[in-house]
């Protein structure tokens, strides 16, 4: 059972969702790490840092998703596939930025806590859109 969950290519949405949580966790770790480093050490405004770190996490997520979560793609052209993944990611970035801004500037939460909420909300968009548009 563990072998099936972790290593065998599958179309099972529940296994793909489980794998997406793991991949999302890895990508989120790097997203948060770079957000913190850019904001607190390089003194970049938190919204710019959030955008930059999101792109790093998105790139990690793309390669891990392609390799481990989804094995069927809708496009034979890898460039087209990557650009659609990026468009989905840009919508995710806008969701991310909106919620980080709202929770930080409007509700006066610490920007890292705002990021936690934004990440959780954005996860469902990203998984659903990637599953529907890219990896059916």
Q: Residue holding tokens 């969950």?
A: 5
Burial of residue 20, with CB atoms counted within 10 A of its CB: 0-12 exposed, 13-18 middle, 19 or more buried: buried
In a domain, 1, yes or no: no
Which distant-in-sequence residues (6+ apart) come within 8 Å of 78 by Cβ? none
In a domain, 119, yes or no: yes
The range of the structural domain enclosing residue 130 comes to 13-67+75-134
In a domain, 7, yes or no: no
In a domain, 37, yes or no: yes
Q: Which two tokens stand for residue 81?
A: 């596939």
| pLDDT at residue 2, as a whole number | 77
Positions of the chain with pLDDT under 50: none
pTM flag (> 0.85):
no
């Amino acid at each position: 059972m563990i072998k099936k969950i972790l290593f065998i290519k599958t179309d099972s949405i529940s296994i793909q969702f489980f794998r997406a949580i793991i991949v999302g966790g890895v990508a989120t770790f790097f997203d948060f790490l770079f957000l913190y480093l850019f904001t607190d050490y390089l003194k970049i405004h938190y919204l710019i840092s959030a955008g930059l770190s999101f792109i790093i996490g998105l790139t990690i997520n793309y390669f891990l998703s392609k390799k481990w979560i989804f094995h069927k793609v809708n496009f034979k052209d890898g460039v087209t596939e990557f650009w659609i993944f990026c468009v989905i990611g840009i919508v995710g970035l806008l969701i991310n930025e909106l919620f980080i801004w709202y929770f930080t500037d409007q509700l006066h939460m610490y920007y890292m806590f705002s990021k936690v909420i934004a990440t959780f909300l954005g996860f469902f968009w990203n998984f659903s859109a990637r599953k529907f548009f890219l990896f059916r």
